[in-house]
Amino acid sequence: MLKSKILIISTMILFILSISAVNAENVTSSMVNDTVNNEFHVIDGKYLEYNNSENGKNLNDTSNVLYDGKDGSVLENKNSNDAIFKYDGNNTVVSKEKPKMNVIAEDSIIFGENLTVKVELPKDANPSWVLMSVGEIYYYVKIDDEGVSLWNMTGLEAGIQYIKIGYRGNNKYEAVEVFHTVNVIKANPNLNVFIKDVNYGENLTIYATLNGVNNTNLTGNVIVTINNKNYSVVVINGKGNVSADKLPAGLYNFSATWAGNDNYNGTNISGGFKINKIDSTIAINVEDIKVGENATIIVNLDSDATGNVTITLDNQNYTVAINEGQTIKVIGGLKAGTYDVFVKYIGDNNYNSAQNTTKFTVLKISDYNMDVTVPEFKEGVNSSVGVDLPKDAEGTVTVEIEGKKYTANIINGTAKVNIPGLGVGDYNITTTYSGDAKYVSMTKKGNITVIPNMDVNLYVDDVVMIYHDGTRLVAKLTDYQGRPIVNDIIYFTINGKTYAKTTDDNGTVSMGLNLDSKVYTATVSYNESEVYSKISKNVTVTINPTVISEDLVKMYQNDTRFYVKFTDSTGKALTKTTVKFNIHGVFYTKKTDKDGVADLGIMLRPGEYILTAYNPVTGEEKGFNITVKSLIVQSDLTKYYLNASKFQATIYDKNGSLAVGKNVTFNINGVFYTKTTDSNGVVSLAINLRPGEYIITTMYEGLAVGNNIVVLPTLVTRDLNMTYGDGSNFTAQTLDGQGKPLANQNVTFNINGVFYNKVTNDNGVASLTMRLMSGKYIITSYWNDFQTGNTIIIS
């Protein structure tokens, strides 16, 4: 292939005399008088080219042309087919004929195919050649003897290509030029994508090959789509690969696309591959346990396994969900024994099914506590050996002493084994627990000592009696076999005093109960000795009264009376018997009725009193609380002058109910006022008196009750003692109805016949400076319709 950036347009010039053409074959060109049998060419319309393979010089306008051995020179038109030169004094015109040139070539080819261009010229078109060019690519093609120039063009880019075909001409023919258009169609590439089947979890690689015409290796990016995700395979020199994401097991399709380039069409292909399931691993972990503990079964699978496993234990199936490759199942309530664990996994999208087995043992508990409690064994006394086991233990406990066995059932983890009385001495003891489904059997050995029995029995009962009926408190003391303990001391403690009594031949003692009627707690005790142990018991002594009544609460001067029943020491009523009462220092004599009942009217003023009733037969004196409630309930009152506070009293009728709508009389400062109670039984009286202390008397239903009323001034002044000219002030303070100072109040002072007006400050105080001569003065202060006088002494 020839390439040149110089476009050479060839012409053949015939030299013709002024009237006739000169044969071209007789024309030769020369340079510096050298004859060359060749041709010359017009170059760019300016120069003549001397075409010789030896020197290839450019001819200028002084070059000579030799014809038949005669010199001539080119005069003009050096760049045309009709050049004029001077020959023997004559002007000569050189001209050539235009050849017939036929171009034969395809109108379209596919990229990569050769384009055969055939140019047909006259057989005498030589010597010359044909110049073919596409863009800036040039092909110099020879012409054979038949006038044919044939050339296979290769490497034409896809698209519309314009081929310029030019015949350079010779000494006979002028140069000619034609164009041929050919459409180079894009070729189809060969795209192949291969994805190898892999097992789940293995790396996935996409391989791509891309070839063009004649297996030419192409370069580009192939987009492969798998599972809606695009992967770009960079293909260089026909090959490329890229790693893809790991995928779950299954069948997958893919599509691959290459967009093409300037010379190749884009292409799409599709295919498939498979991600194979893999065998899953399954490991079981379960440890031996003891009865009562929970069995924890841990199944470990591949970390991304999903679904459930089925655990079979003791003919029970448990389905457990897999979480991050593991399942945990806790099973309780297993009895002692060896268990088979069967675990089955059915697999999932990525893993095949799997199964495994293991064993574990549930052991009876052997490290439990069995506490044997042996009491103090005393001669001849039945005893119990206590055995404490776990709360859920079942079965029996057997105690063996001197070859004899004593058995008890376990209840709530405890057994009490009864042992009959033994003689004094030392014994071996063996305690055995039978065991059960949860606990292994256990045996403990020990020894006991039976000591002499120093226990005593103290027999004493509660006492219920009537005042001074002669009943005694009796106690009896015996040893553990019930034999009386004689000439020993028993102590009685009652009503804060202790009494010592000596047992008689029957072990018995007693004491009289000359106490007031009420309920007592008595302690009867025996102090230990070298032979016997100490003992103490508490009993209740109830002495019922022969003066029977209850405390009384009544309203002032209502009809309620105090009733008392009198009996003798046997409880028999004292009928028609004269009895006495004492209340508030006054004795009253009454006679009982047929039921032994006497009564007394209580006409005392409101208050609390003690009433004592005297039984003339038994001599019992018994006191009772008498409460006389007032019909008038009130309190003292302290108020400021002319404020809204009122004196109030709550009034009750003699039956204890509120006195509603009843008239009540008040007496204060010598004036009587009558007011009516409201719906709450409350009566009130406004107090508009001048400041001072008063007694108010409230009167209702014959009851008069007095209270203190204090009216505080709202204009507060004090006498003043001063020395002449010491600058002292006489002050007056104004207060509101709650006793709070009032500022900006006008207070008027009158002293020695002269009036002065002053305004109170923030503390409610108005001040008047005293400038009078020595002496004694009366000053009157006025405010809010209130006036008060004070003495001022100036010394």
CATH number of 102-185: 2.60.40.10
Q: What is d(CA 57, CA 75) in angstroms, rounded to the nearest whole number? A: 19
The matching CATH number, chosen from 1.10.3720.10, 1.10.540.10, 3.30.420.40, 2.60.40.10, for 278-363 is 2.60.40.10
Pairing of strands 552-555, 621-629: parallel
Task: Phi first, then psi: give them for residue 508, nearest 5 degrees.
Answer: -110, 145
Pairing of strands 703-712, 637-640: parallel
Q: How confident is the model at residue 430 (pLDDT cuts 50, 70, 90)?
A: very high
pTM: 0.45
Span 189-194, mean pLDDT? 96
Q: How confident is the model at residue 378 (pLDDT cuts 50, 70, 90)?
A: confident
pLDDT value for 172: 82
- Summarised one tens digit per residue, pLDDT across range 384-399 is 999 999 999 999 999 9
Q: What angle do CA 6, 12, 16 make, to 5 degrees?
A: 145
CATH-assigned architecture of domain 547-629: Sandwich (2.60)
Span 373-394, mean pLDDT? 92
Q: What is d(CA 590, CA 599) in angstroms, rounded to the nearest whole number? A: 7
Judged against a pLDDT cut of 80, whether residue 71 lies above it is answered with no
Structure tokens that stand for 157 in this block: 């880019």
Q: What is d(CA 579, CA 590) in angstroms, rounded to the nearest whole number? A: 5
- Summarised one tens digit per residue, pLDDT across range 339-355 is 999 999 999 999 999 99
pLDDT value for 3: 29
Q: How confident is the model at residue 137 (pLDDT cuts 50, 70, 90)?
A: confident
Structure tokens that stand for 377 in this block: 């064994």
- Quick one: 632-712 is in which CATH superfamily? Immunoglobulins (2.60.40.10)
Residue type at position 301? L
Higher pLDDT, 77 or 435: 435
pLDDT value for 2: 28
Torsion angle defined by CA atoms of residues 213, 216, 220 and 221, in that order, rounded to the nearest 10 degrees = 80
pLDDT value for 6: 22
DSSP assignments along 322-356, one per residue: -BTTEEEEEE--PPSEEEEEEEEE---SSEE-EEE
Span 573-598, mean pLDDT? 97
Q: How confident is the model at residue 37 (pLDDT cuts 50, 70, 90)?
A: very low
Q: Does domain 456-544 have CATH number 3.30.56.10?
A: no
Judged against a pLDDT cut of 50, whether residue 441 lies above it is answered with yes
pLDDT value for 86: 52
Nearest alpha carbon to residue 218 among 241, 234, 193, 238 = 238
Torsion angle defined by CA atoms of residues 491, 494, 497 and 498, in that order, rounded to the nearest 10 degrees = 0
- Quick one: 190-276 is in which CATH superfamily? Macroglobulin (MG2) domain (2.60.40.1930)
- Return mean pLDDT, the chain: 88
Q: Do domains 102-185 and 190-276 have the same CATH topology?
A: yes
Pairing of strands 250-258, 220-226: antiparallel
Structure tokens that stand for 289 in this block: 């346990």
- Residue 128 near residue 145 (C-beta atoms within 8 A): no
Task: Phi first, then psi: give them for residue 214, nearest 5 degrees.
Answer: 55, 40
Question: In sequence order, what are the beta bridge partners of 347?
Answer: none
CATH number of 371-451: 2.60.40.10
- Summarised one tens digit per residue, pLDDT across range 205-249 is 999 999 999 999 999 999 999 999 999 999 999 999 999 999 999
Burial of 268 (0-12, 13-18, 19+ CB in 10 A): exposed
Span 755-777, mean pLDDT? 94
Structure tokens that stand for 249 in this block: 């097991």
Structure tokens that stand for 781 in this block: 């202060």
- Residue 493 near residue 521 (C-beta atoms within 8 A): no
Q: Above pLDDT 90, what percent of the chain?
A: 79
- Summarised one tens digit per residue, pLDDT across range 540-550 is 999 999 999 99
- Summarised one tens digit per residue, pLDDT across range 331-340 is 998 999 999 9
pLDDT value for 220: 95
Q: Where are the domains of the chain?
A: 24-94, 102-185, 190-276, 278-363, 371-451, 456-544, 547-629, 632-712, 715-794
The CATH class that applies to domain 715-794 reads mainly beta
